[in-house]
A and B are shown apart, each in its own frame.
Chain A
Amino acid sequence: MRSLNHILALFRKDLLLEIRQQYTFYGVVLYVASTIFVLYLAMGQPEEIVWNGLFWMIQLFICINAVAKSFLQESRGRMLYFYSIAGPRDFVLSKLLFNSILMVVMSLVSLVLFQMLLGNPLQYFLKFTAIVCLGGWSLSLVFTFLAAIAARAQQNAAMMAILGFPLIIPQILLLMRISGTAFADVVQAGLGQIILLLIGLDILVIALAIILFPFLWKD
């Protein structure tokens, strides 16, 4: 119960900072918008497979940008303060929660922009939206943990890409596969299995973050 309070308090702190500074949110929104606009200028309205591929690649870059600063914005002194009042597990869980929500919102924003600029090849919009939420959540979890690792190496975004891209390929592949079913009436063998696998992976990432983050924290 106490740790839940801690997590919520830390989460509120991130949220308040966000609302007051409005730096990440609008920064990332602008990033999303301009990237998709450039894509629109370059490609016009592409066909389904290209649309799907582009969408998930853009998610990947949005995620890196949205999540990258979550550990670097905290100065050493402030980290020490959090350490004394909350403990590493609460801290990382609050970051995971905040980044999950941020990333899901960003994914939905980019989905709307994709619809507006690159056309709408989707047949099952709700299904695709659900997959996007799951995908945004999965990406944010993995990259939040990698941001914690990369923050130790002091060169965040580039390091996160190097560490993260190979790790995320399997999940992106699975997401592209299941989102293919939202474009046309195709039968995807083992659709339920893949979704379960993705959720299982997310739970695994959360568990690993809880176990491993205390080691990253102590200096």
Chain B
Amino acid sequence: MLRQSWWKILSLVLLIITFIAGFLGGVPAKPILNETIRNLYFHVSMWFTMMILFIVSLVYSIKYLRSNNQVHDRYALEFAKTGIVFGLLGLITGMIWANYTWGKPWNNDPKQLGAAIALLIYFAYMVLRNSLTDEDKRAKTAAVYNIFAFAMLIPTLWVIPRLMDSLHPGGMGNPAFDTKDIDSRMRMIFWPAAVPGWTLLAVWITTLRIRLRSLHDIKLNA
């Protein structure tokens, strides 16, 4: 299925819809947020994509431990890498947004801290991988850390932001956004177009990277 092209075309179509409808479509006029509410289509979608990719990476790590198949380890690694890229994009889009709504790009908001911690955890995953040279040992140790880290990530991203005061839309409740802030026009772009569009793009990037690495390996072994 991943070799077919329909989902790549779909990704592009969804992203074009997101960009056109996201910038031109109607949005509810909210105080403070105003037009920055359109960042939902980009910033929040980046976080959804990052979370989905980290979950996929986790699944491949579990699969690796069950099968000892090096391919699964590579999948886990590349999905985590693309997840980091989307996490960084989420952080940057959030900081640009915060600069206009909160006055500063960085406010030590619990949600910003959680996002930064999540990225640090996955940077540590990369460092751990680089510190081991033996392939099997590296794959196994990294898979164990990936599973452990993901379990510790859940409270960081899903529980603690709900316990602490925050300026972020959604306040003390939902970590992503306040569902009362957006209306049906925005929902029609966010759920069917923005989230799957960015996610498919991320999967596309990941599959390209995996294929590149496989080609590299073939070249090395030839």
| Also in contact, A204 and B120, with CB within 8 A (given A149-B128, A149-B141, A170-B160) | no
Minimal beta-carbon separation of B28 from chain A (angstroms): 30
A109 neighbours in B (Cβ, 8 Å): none
Minimal beta-carbon separation of A23 from chain B (angstroms): 26
A173 neighbours in B (Cβ, 8 Å): 113, 160
Of all chain B residues, which has the CB nearest A207? B151
Is the pair B117, A153 in contact by a Cβ cutoff of 8 Å? no
Among A142, A163, A216, residue most surrounded by chain B Cβ atoms (within 10 Å): A163
B124 neighbours in A (Cβ, 8 Å): 162-163, 166-167
Is the pair A152, B141 in contact by a Cβ cutoff of 8 Å? yes
For residue A208, CB closer than 8 A to chain B, the reply is yes
Minimal beta-carbon separation of B112 from chain A (angstroms): 13
| Also in contact, A170 and B147, with CB within 8 A (given A153-B128, A155-B131) | no
Interface size class of A (residues with CB under 8 A): 20 to 34
For residue B132, CB closer than 8 A to chain A, the reply is yes
Is the pair B117, A194 in contact by a Cβ cutoff of 8 Å? no
Prevailing SS type, chain A contact patch? helix
* Complex Cα gap A163–B140 (Å): 16
Is the pair A212, B155 in contact by a Cβ cutoff of 8 Å? no
For residue A101, CB closer than 8 A to chain B, the reply is no
B140-156 interface bits toward A, Cβ cutoff 8 Å, 1 = contact, 0 = none = 11011101110110011
* Complex Cα gap A151–B120 (Å): 21
Is the pair A216, B159 in contact by a Cβ cutoff of 8 Å? no
| Also in contact, A204 and B160, with CB within 8 A (given A152-B132, A216-B144, A219-B137) | no
Which residue numbers of B lie inside 8 Å of A, CB to CB?
Answer: 65, 113-114, 117, 120-121, 123-124, 127-128, 131-132, 137, 140-141, 143-145, 147-149, 151-152, 155-156, 159-160, 163
Q: What 13 new A-B contacts, CB under 8 Å, besides A149-B128, A216-B140?
A: A145-B148, A149-B145, A155-B131, A159-B128, A162-B124, A163-B124, A166-B121, A170-B160, A201-B152, A204-B151, A208-B151, A212-B148, A216-B141
